[in-house]
Structure formats: structure tokens, C-alpha cells
């Protein structure tokens, strides 16, 4: 089958890595795959080796739906699998290809005017996208880059975007939480399939790749507890919350924060102000191999997302290396962070609650290794590459068969 994986842009974050990894996995399984994107420059840190990239627009040029459709049609796909696209004209034009259309929902972009389903720190909206969003003040958003005035969201356009996706042949989500969000937003339950994310470190989880063991000694007892954070330095990912929680920890610990983003310098300054900067190492984004080493050496991975993170991949990646995870019980995280089994869930989203759980984790000492092994086993069982790809390919087959029988979605 000729499959196009479509994404707005290939930039930083977990989504581009997931799409590229999925493209490789589908190719290895025998599919012919191209990754279509909006034509922006592809960052050098992304591993695109062996992947056919299909630019739908020239670099620096705006995306034009007819031209993008012509480039897709020239490639002759049998199916288009959208991972992120808010270009309404292109979404409407995709029906002209007369092929099955599948959408994976990794975030809330097509379901929320503010993308994160939060209006202010601490907010966790449970409403569907609708005209009531105007009453809750969600029409006003952050200013556009270089501007000072708030941005006015286009609610009718966003509703049209959601409606277009409701008529796709299938909707895939990575967590039970995202499945519920789609149901709240009017998606037909029979078109929603939960497909747990796979770890790009699947081989390491299954013991098929050579990796050194964790450092000798008992963490927090005979050597410092090695904490790790990996994610963007943005408010929702909670790096600032983590740094604020660290001063209250009693005992010996070190934190490696692999991060980059607009909040980084402010968080660095905060660490200096709180007197914990000497025990924190900030590292910019790393290549695959170097990141793997940090996951392996960590005793505990901290996933302090303060919003309903749909299903962050970094926690699954950490567990691939037998590293347990401590996280707030938000979004899709409770699907794989099982309290007391693969890590620790913090019910209250606060600095104090996170600090208290980190202290208890430090006092676990050798018990962290048992949690880590259970987490690694969960990754092998639920988050394996082959299981994910087989489910995706099965969904492709069902969508194609429905089209062939004349049961395609309304377009």
C-alpha cells in the first residue's frame, strides 16, 4: 500500500520523531511510505535517513491547497494518514483523492481554540469545542509572533476543521484519555481506535540492543539519586514546577534536564535563585544514541506535565530502559505510569505534591530498580513497535475495504 503520513511541519517535539519512526516501521513492514509536510526547512536534529519526504509547498512559500493536492496526487497514495493539519482548505481538498483518510490525534489542535484545553495555569477544561468557548473567553489567544495585541481565534473555522475530521474513515488515539476527548467532541465511537504509542527504543526494551547497566550502588544511599527530565522548556511541560520542587528534597540527588525552548533561560535563573543550579545539568537536544545513554543512567524520570498531556512519549521511552517515572496524573499518562508498579502518580498538580513524591522516591533506594523492570515489561507488552504497526496496518486495511465496498465516510 502507498501511504502518505501528513504533518503540518517537521520541527521540534515528540510528534515529528514519532511520525518519522512510524514511517520507518511501516516501510520495514512492506508499505511504501512518504512523509508529507508543509515545505519548511527540516531541522538537522531530526533523523530523516531512508525516508521519502514530500514537501507540499516550497520553502518560504505559503501552503496552497490546489498545489499541495497536485503534489499528493502525483505521488498516487492509496491512503492518507494525517497526524497534524489545520489547513482547512487542504483538508477539504483531500476528499478529491478518493482514498481512505485516517487521522491520528496526538494533541488538541483540532479540538480546542487554545490547543491545550487550558485558559490559565491550573485549568483543565473538560468541555467540547463549541460556541460556548466564546463565553469562557477562549476567543482571545496569545499574540502572533512579533505582535503585541491578543490574537482573535476563528471559531467557525475551527468548528469546520473538527467537522471535517469527524467524517474521516478512522480516528486513532494513543491513550484512553484522548479517546474520551474525541467522544465528547462528537466523534462516532466506532471510528475511534486506541493504539498505544510505541517506543522508538523498542529494541533496547526487548534486550536486542547493547546497552550498559545502570550505575552501581543504591541511589540516594551510596550515590546520588539520578533524576532526568526531557522535554520542551514551555510552561505546560512543567520544568519550572520540577525545579521549584527540588529545594525541599532531603538527601543526595542530581538532575539532568535535556531541554530547549522559550522558558529555558528563565528556568536556569530560577535554579540559581533557589540554590540548586550546581546539582542540575542543562543539556540541549541530543541525537538518538546520546539520549538513550541518559535514559539508561537515570534512576527516575520526572514527567511533570501540568496540563492534560495526551500521551507523552518520553515516559514510555524512559521505561524502555527500566527507568521508572514520576508524573502528575493528567491526560494519557496514567495509561502507562501505574502508581506503585511502574512509577509514581501525583494526584495533586502542585510543587508541594511533586516534591513530596520525589522525596518518597528518593527514600525507595533499591526499590526503584523493581519498578523500572516492571515498566520495561509493560513497554514490551503494550508499547512494542510491531504491535503498534500491526494495529495501524489493520486499520488501513479496514478503511480500504470499507471504501471498496462503498461504505466510505461522508465527504
For residue 226, give the CATH number of its domain.
3.40.50.2000
Surface-to-core class of residue 93, CB atoms within 10 Å of its CB (0-12 exposed, 13-18 middle, 19+ buried): middle
Residue 411 placed within a domain:
no
| pLDDT, tens digit, 9 for 90 and up, residues 184-209 | 999 999 999 999 999 889 899 998 88
Among the residue ranges 149-153, 310-314, 331-335, 366-370, the one predicted with the least confidence is 149-153
In this prediction, residues 112-127 reach a mean pLDDT of 86
Residue 410 placed within a domain:
no
- Give the per-residue pLDDT at 306: 94
In this prediction, residues 389-406 reach a mean pLDDT of 90
Q: Is the pLDDT of residue 410 over 60?
A: no
Among the residue ranges 162-176, 277-291, 323-337, the one predicted with the least confidence is 277-291
Residue 29 placed within a domain:
yes
Residue 409 placed within a domain:
no
Asked whether residue 64 falls in the same domain as residue 8, the answer is yes
Asked whether residue 172 falls in the same domain as residue 207, the answer is no
CA dihedral of residues 207, 212, 217, 219 (deg, nearest 10): -70
Asked whether residue 174 falls in the same domain as residue 216, the answer is no
CA dihedral of residues 392, 393, 397, 403 (deg, nearest 10): 50
Q: Which of 50, 54, 73 is nearest to 10 (CA)?
A: 54
Question: Strand, coil or helix: what is 172?
Answer: strand
Residue 224 placed within a domain:
yes
| Distance in angstroms (rounded) separating the CA atoms of residues 357 and 363 | 10
Residue 325 placed within a domain:
yes
pTM of the model: 0.90
Is the distance from CB of 188 to CB of 181 less than 8 angstroms?
no
pLDDT confidence tier of residue 409, bands split at 50, 70 and 90: very low
pLDDT confidence tier of residue 411, bands split at 50, 70 and 90: very low
Percent of the chain with pLDDT over 90: 75
Q: Is the pLDDT of residue 317 over 90?
A: yes
In this structure, what C-alpha cell is assigned to residue 384? 512494542
Start-end of H helices in 10-120: 14-28, 65-75, 88-93
Q: How many beta carbons lie within 10 A of that of residue 317, not counting itself?
A: 27
pLDDT confidence tier of residue 368, bands split at 50, 70 and 90: very high
pLDDT confidence tier of residue 68, bands split at 50, 70 and 90: very high
| Distance in angstroms (rounded) separating the CA atoms of residues 285 and 305 | 18
Q: Can you tell me which residue has the cell 535514559?
A: 295
| pLDDT, tens digit, 9 for 90 and up, residues 6-63 | 998 887 667 888 899 999 999 999 999 999 998 777 877 788 889 999 999 987 788 9
Asked whether residue 114 falls in the same domain as residue 216, the answer is no
Q: Is the pLDDT of residue 405 over 90?
A: no
Q: Which of 168, 174, 17, 41 is nearest to 108 (CA)?
A: 174
In this prediction, residues 81-104 reach a mean pLDDT of 96
Asked whether residue 225 falls in the same domain as residue 184, the answer is no
Provide CB contacts within 8 A for 280, sequence distance 6+: 243, 246, 254, 255, 256, 257, 271
Question: Strand, coil or helix: what is 79?
Answer: strand
* Helix H or strand E segment including 5: strand 2-7
**For the chain, how many structural domains are there in total?**
2
Asked whether residue 306 falls in the same domain as residue 394, the answer is no
| Distance in angstroms (rounded) separating the CA atoms of residues 274 and 314 | 27
In this prediction, residues 83-112 reach a mean pLDDT of 95
Asked whether residue 284 falls in the same domain as residue 309, the answer is yes
Residue 359 placed within a domain:
yes
Residue 136 placed within a domain:
yes
Q: In terms of DSSP bridges, do strands 170-173 and 101-105 run parallel, antiparallel, or are they unpaired?
A: parallel
For residues 323 and 60, the model is more confident at: 323
- Give the per-residue pLDDT at 407: 54
**Paired residues of 194 in beta bridges:** 173
Asked whether residue 207 falls in the same domain as residue 189, the answer is no
Asked whether residue 141 falls in the same domain as residue 152, the answer is yes
Asked whether residue 216 falls in the same domain as residue 320, the answer is yes
Asked whether residue 34 falls in the same domain as residue 8, the answer is yes
Asked whether residue 253 falls in the same domain as residue 334, the answer is yes
User: Residue 367 sits in which domain range?
Assistant: 202-382
Amino acid at each position: 500500500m502507498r501511504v502518505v503520513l501528513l504533518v503540518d511541519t517537521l520541527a521540534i517535539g515528540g510528534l515529528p520523531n514519532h511520525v518519522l519512526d512510524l514511517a520507518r516501521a511501516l516501510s520495514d513492514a512492506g508499505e511504501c511510505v512518504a512523509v508529507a509536510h508543509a515545505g519548511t526547512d527540516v531541522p538537522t536534529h531530526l533523523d530523516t535517513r531512508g525516508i521519502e519526504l514530500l514537501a507540499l509547498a516550497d520553502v518560504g512559500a505559503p501552503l496552497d491547497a490546489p498545489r499541495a493536492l497536485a503534489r499528493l496526487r502525483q505521488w498516487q497514495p492509496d491512503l492518507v494518514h494525517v497526524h497534524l493539519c489545520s489547513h482547512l482548505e487542504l483538508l477539504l481538498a483531500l476528499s478529491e483523492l478518493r482514498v481512505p483518510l485516517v487521522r491520528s490525534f496526538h494533541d488538541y489542535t483540532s479540538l480546542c481554540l487554545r490547543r491545550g484545553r487550558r485558559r490559565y495555569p491550573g485549568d483543565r477544561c473538560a468541555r467540547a469545542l463549541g460556541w460556548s468557548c466564546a463565553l469562557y473567553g477562549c476567543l482571545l489567544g496569545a499574540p502572533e509572533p512579533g505582535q503585541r495585541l491578543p490574537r482573535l481565534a476563528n471559531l467557525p473555522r475551527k468548528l469546520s476543521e473538527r467537522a471535517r475530521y469527524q467524517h474521516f474513515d478512522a480516528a486513532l488515539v494513543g491513550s484512553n484519555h484522548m479517546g474520551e476527548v474525541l467522544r465528547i467532541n462528537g466523534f462516532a465511537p466506532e471510528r475511534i481506535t486506541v493504539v498505544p504509542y510505541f517506543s522508538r527504543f523498542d529494541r533496547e526494551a526487548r534486550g536486542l540492543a547493547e546497552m550498559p547497566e545502570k550505575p552501581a550502588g543504591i541511589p540516594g544511599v551510596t550515590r546520588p539519586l539520578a533524576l532526568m527530565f526531557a522535554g520542551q522548556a514551555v510552561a505546560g511541560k512543567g520544568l519550572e514546577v520540577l525545579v521549584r520542587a527540588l529545594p525541599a528534597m532531603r538527601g543526595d540527588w542530581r538532575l539532568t534536564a535535556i531541554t530547549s525552548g522559550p522558558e529555558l533561560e528563565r528556568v536556569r535563573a530560577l535554579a540559581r535563585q533557589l540554590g540548586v543550579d550546581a546539582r542540575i545539568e542543562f543539556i540541549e537536544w541530543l541525537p538518538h544514541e546520546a539520549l538513550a545513554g541518559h535514559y539508561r543512567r537515570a534512576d527516575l524520570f520526572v514527567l511533570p506535565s501540568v496540563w492534560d498531556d495526551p500521551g507523552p512519549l518520553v515516559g514510555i521511552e524512559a521505561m524502555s530502559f527500566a527507568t521508572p517515572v514520576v508524573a502528575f496524573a493528567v491526560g494519557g499518562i496514567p495509561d502507562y505510569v501505574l502508581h506503585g508498579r511502574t512509577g509514581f502518580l501525583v494526584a495533586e498538580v502542585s510543587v508541594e505534591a511533586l516534591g513530596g513524591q520525589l522525596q518518597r522516591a528518593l527514600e525507595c533506594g533499591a526499590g526503584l530498580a523493581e519498578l523500572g523492570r516492571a515498566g520495561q515489561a509493560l513497554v514490551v507488552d503494550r508499547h512494542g513497535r510491531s504491535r503498534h504497526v500491526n494495529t495501524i496496518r489493520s486499520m488501513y486495511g479496514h478503511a480500504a475495504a470499507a471504501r471498496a465496498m462503498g461504505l466510505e465516510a461522508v465527504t
